[in-house]
Structure 1
């Protein structure tokens, strides 16, 4: 893992919130089209008041740092 990428990814408060929410997905993302065991839809993160494209950018940063994995469904 690239430590610098991890530190940069964790430096943003929204990304820290996203990681906290993903730690307990059933608690924060219980209602969605598919079971949370399959993952969390990016549009579920709009709770932070950001556009889906902005959230996707944050998820991409977390993914590049190796902190989350992403995949497209549908």
Structure 2
């Protein structure tokens, strides 16, 4: 399954992603600063997504760029 995690660098997201990867899900990760995802061991195993969840146009653009989300 493909999963989009918004807040990937936060407390819950950063702990959820390893469990999803262990279960062989494809993970797209959203964080305020995508470069911060590199600090996690799983940073190379996810696809970084730029979007602002409070902006409808930003969410639409992210989904349009990757309809699998």
TM-score w.r.t. the length of structure 1 is: 0.26
Q: Rg bigger for which structure?
A: 1
> Greater strand share, 1 or 2?
2
Bigger relative contact order, structure 1 or 2, given CA contacts below 8 A and separation 6+?
Answer: 1
